[in-house]
């Protein structure tokens, strides 16, 4: 089947579904369930798993059909589930795991979080110390995770834990799907610069995780985690956007408002146009990264998209605060939950909030420093940094 016929078939199916179940009269969760059942959730997934085994090129076309019909985009509400958990579960999950997890993930019934980073293992994720010890029927997990976005509302967590401390750090890890309601799971909010608490500390105290919660194979957690991380960078940095949309669109609107108010300084237009040019180059690069991800497991292109997103967002929102003038100092929208329309890319409707939130972009989803290392080694072919603990058993390696 050609790409054109693939897209045509998917679009026709989407339009037929919407004709039978109009957006105006069908509850959103119900419509998303019908969309999953029709294979229009992730069209490149297997049939019966929200897909149709079609070309990934059909996915953005299908998304546009539903968007044009007025369907809301709830990606920000379940960014871990839709952007990271879904492709990981589809790639490595058992048939029962796919049956249990994928549909409620897409409908929004189950929110997901990512239990990777730890106080002593952030950028060096493979050095994590959360332990999973064999017990009857499964594993007892003890440790601490941090910066866990949406853990306070999550039903499931993507958990990376160490099952064999006598192996080198990359080879002694196992990937689990954790029920966040399990006894021994404690979630503590972390208040951030915006005043909200969208991410958390998570304490795991002898939490039982059954054998059938392993995603992939025992001891192969790093390989599974790499799939999650690459999808994470694409989902955070490689968003699909129209020309002039997103943060740069907000900056243009702020510039016009500042011009009407007589608040512009010499050189403001030049600064805005430089950022516009960078944003357009990033948008086109992101399109390539998204398409690469949808053809299969994404590569280092996602790191390019993520670095660009982080640096551009901070620069764009820094400029918008100057356009606001003294009003930029009056942010008082402190809350404990993320504003309804806010995302990691901004767009909350409050430029002051978006500026404060953008400062986290160079940390979350992989720091810009680490991603530059990835690009240097895997794209440019530069010599890697020395790794003295690469082949040393984790239990004997020096700890930070």
pLDDT in tens, the chain (400 residues): 454 566 788 999 999 999 999 999 999 999 999 999 999 999 989 999 999 998 777 888 898 899 999 998 877 789 899 989 999 999 999 999 999 999 999 999 999 999 999 998 877 889 999 999 999 999 999 999 999 999 999 999 999 999 999 999 999 999 999 999 999 999 999 988 888 888 899 999 999 999 999 999 999 999 999 889 877 655 554 455 678 888 999 999 999 999 999 999 999 999 999 999 999 988 887 777 666 655 555 566 667 777 888 899 999 999 999 999 888 888 766 555 555 555 555 567 788 888 988 988 888 777 888 888 888 887 888 998 888 887 899 998 887 6
- Tell me the C-alpha distance between 230 and 233, whole Å: 5
Would you state the CATH architecture of domain 226-378? Up-down Bundle (1.20)
The answer to whether the beta carbons of residues 305 and 288 sit under 8 Å apart is: no
Which ranges in the chain are annotated with CATH 1.20.140.10?
226-378
């Amino acid at each position: 089947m050609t790409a054109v016929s693939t897209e045509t078939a998917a679009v026709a199916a989407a339009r037929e579904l919407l004709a039978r179940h109009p957006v105006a009269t069908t509850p959103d969760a119900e419509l998303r369930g019908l969309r999953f059942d029709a294979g229009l959730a992730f069209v490149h997934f297997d049939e019966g798993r929200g897909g149709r085994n079609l070309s990934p090129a059909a996915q953005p076309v299908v998304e546009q059909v539903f968007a044009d019909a007025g369907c809301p985009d709830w990606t920000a509400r379940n960014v871990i589930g839709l952007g990271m958990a879904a492709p990981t579960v589809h790639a490595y999950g058992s048939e029962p795991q796919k049956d249990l997890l994928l549909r409620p993930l897409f409908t929004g019934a189950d929110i997901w979080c990512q239990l990777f980073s730890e106080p002593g293992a952030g950028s060096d994720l493979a050095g994590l110390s959360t332990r999973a010890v064999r017990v009857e029927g499964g594993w007892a997990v003890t440790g601490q995770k941090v910066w866990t976005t949406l853990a306070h509302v999550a039903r499931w967590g993507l958990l990376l834990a160490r099952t064999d401390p006598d192996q080198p750090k990359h080879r002694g890890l196992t990937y689990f799907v954790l029920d966040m309601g399990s006894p021994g799971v404690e979630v503590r909010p972390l208040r951030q610069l915006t005043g909200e608490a969208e991410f958390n500390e998570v304490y795991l105290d002898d939490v039982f995780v059954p054998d059938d919660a392993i995603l992939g194979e025992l001891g192969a957690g790093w390989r599974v985690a790499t799939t999650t991380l690459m999808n994470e960078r694409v989902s955070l940095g490689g968003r699909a956007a129209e020309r002039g949309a997103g943060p740069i669109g907000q900056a243009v609107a702020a510039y016009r408002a500042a011009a009407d108010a007589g608040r512009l300084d010499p050189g403001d237009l030049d600064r805005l146009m430089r950022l516009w040019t960078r944003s357009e180059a990033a948008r086109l690069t992101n399109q390539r990264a998204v398409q690469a991800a949808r053809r299969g497991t994404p590569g280092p292109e996602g790191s390019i998209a993520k670095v660009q997103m982080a640096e551009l967002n901070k620069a764009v929102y820094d400029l918008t605060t100057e356009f606001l003038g003294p009003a930029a100092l009056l942010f008082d929208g402190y809350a404990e939950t993320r504003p309804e329309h806010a995302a990691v890319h901004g767009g909350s409707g409050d430029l002051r909030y978006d500026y404060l939130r953008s400062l986290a972009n160079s940390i979350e989803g992989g720091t810009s420093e680490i991603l530059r290392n990835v690009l240097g080694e895997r794209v440019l072919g530069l010599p890697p940094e020395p790794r003295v603990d690469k082949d040393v058993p984790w239990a004997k390696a020096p700890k930070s």
